[in-house]
Amino acid sequence: MTRVALLSRSANLSYFQPLLQGLDPALDVAVWPDPRSLEADVAVCWNPPVGVYDDMPNLKLIHSIAAGVDNLLDGQRTRGLPVCRVVDPQLAQGMLQYVLWCVLTFHRKLDVALANQRQARWQRPPQTPASECRVGLMGLGELGSAIAAVLPGMGYRVNGWSRRPRLLDGVRTYAGEAGFDQFLADTDVLICLVPLTDATRGILNRETFAALPRGAAVVNCGRGEHLVAPDLIEALASGQLRGAVLDVFAHEPLAPTDPLWSTPGVIVTPHMATMPAAATVAEQVVANIRRLGQGAALANTVDPARGY
């Protein structure tokens, strides 16, 4: 019998238990902090307790419940064990919808209209064509590329930046440190979609904001650790940035006392940009458990050293 541990220090993952056992009734599933979790062969995780893998002598596989794995690796020693993520085709569609809402918010000046509403002010914000709004996609992986395939057809001027050179139809692309500042200079709405690595931690900082055109907007739907929050608040207060939409935070849920809740120009959403369906997660986890038992190659493995 394979024992599976559902590990999280910030979320209740118990809803996965019936889904996993519905696909394989032989699975023994324990939910953290049940002590039986430490005897598991497979860890299914979201933001697991730091150091927990070292206390699991039988552990053979670490599996994310999401497309990202940084929350599984941060402060953890994986002991050379395989790490897998979830790949859901619907993730890209969900992220596209969220990013489109953000782009429309700033392009059509809906943020201004909402601010006017709070003051009962009837004032139409000046409207401009989509061709005058430059959207910068920071990260051209699966999600960034899917968004880049749609926005140009809606009239937006789309720029993309990635660690390595990429070629995408209808998109002006930049790469590496050499191209970063020019990419930022050509961007009115910056969308952060990069994976969290040592190189990207804190990338949304004072220097990045200063390189954007004055009055630009920032959207972070990557990882909370990409953002240096005090630098954002400072850039908004100075007028260097007009606004920001934040969906991810270094510590979730966002504390009620966090200043981001009440910072003028900031829209907070509760990590809802996109997420895999729970049934899809369960299916992919169980499929990899079976592969593990058969000694077959696992699906959707990642390199812990790179973080993706």
Find the catalytic residue in 63, 85, 223, 242: 223
Helix axes 16-23, 278-294, angle to 10 degrees: 50
Q: Known catalytic residue: 271?
A: yes
Q: Known catalytic residue: 223?
A: yes
Q: Both tokens of residue 23?
A: 């696909």
Q: Is the Cβ–Cβ distance between 56 and 36 less than 8 Å?
A: no
- Tokens 């990069």: give the residue: 194
Q: Which residue in 175, 178, 223 sits closest to 200, CA to CA?
A: 223
Q: Mapped to the 3 state alphabet, what secondary structure does 63-97 carry?
A: EECCCCCHHHHCCCCCCCCCEECCCCHHHHHHHHH
- Tokens 């990013």: give the residue: 99
CA distance 99 to 86: 21
Find the catalytic residue in 271, 290, 291, 306: 271
**Cα–Cα distances in angstroms (integers) from residue 264 to residues 114, 241, 242, in the given order:** 12, 11, 9
Active site residues: 223, 271
